[in-house]
Amino acid sequence: MKRLLAQGAEAKIYLENSKIIKNRIKKNYRISEIDKELRKLRTRAEARLLERANRNKVNVPKVLEIDEEKNVLELEFIDGEKIRDYLDNNRDSKIFSKIGEQIKRLHQANITHGDLTTSNMIFKGNKVFLIDFGLGNYSEKDEDKAVDLHVLKECLTSKHYSISEQCWREFLKTYKEKSILKRLKIVERRGKYRH
């Protein structure tokens, strides 16, 4: 039985036989040949990022199958609680030391997630898993990694305001990538002037 779990701008996510089926949506505003090629490239790129993350000991869903013709990615289903809900229910800021460890490994592997929010993290069996690499990239730049952290920090202050400072303190205990944290300050200053 196939069940729709989520639908974003880029893809529909289904649960079928304890597997995640990620189907990239056709964009009617794009020329169909270009659309097909883009979806194929993005499907392949996401699979590669997940495989690279996995090799670098980041907790991510395993890639089970790629169908480039249908733009479908079949992934392991991580049956746990979204960190967003876990924080709302438990107010446990200490979980962010685990999150810091995972993101540090991700960035050391030169992968940026692109959408580091508590909705794209799952807590299962005392482990934090990072999910949804649809906006992910390969990057060696501190700037790109700092933008990743900026998104996470913004998510904390907007969605988990009452414990955001404690969460960030826990995160910093394990993340410890000095040059990226230094770059984050520049990114944050830029953000302030934009408003």
Catalytic site positions: 115
**Alpha-carbon distance 190 to 33, whole Å?**
38
**Alpha-carbon distance 124 to 8, whole Å?**
23
Entry field: residues in the chain? 195
Q: How far is C-alpha 100 from the chain's CA centre?
A: 13
- Only one residue has tokens 């200490």, namely 94
**Alpha-carbon distance 38 to 122, whole Å?**
28
**Alpha-carbon distance 44 to 103, whole Å?**
22
- Only one residue has tokens 């790129």, namely 45
Report CA-CA distances (Å) from 181 to 60, 78, 145, 159, 170.
23, 30, 9, 22, 14
Reported in sequence order, the residue ranges of 78-165 that DSSP labels E, i.e. its strands, are: 81-82, 111-112, 121-124, 127-130, 137-138
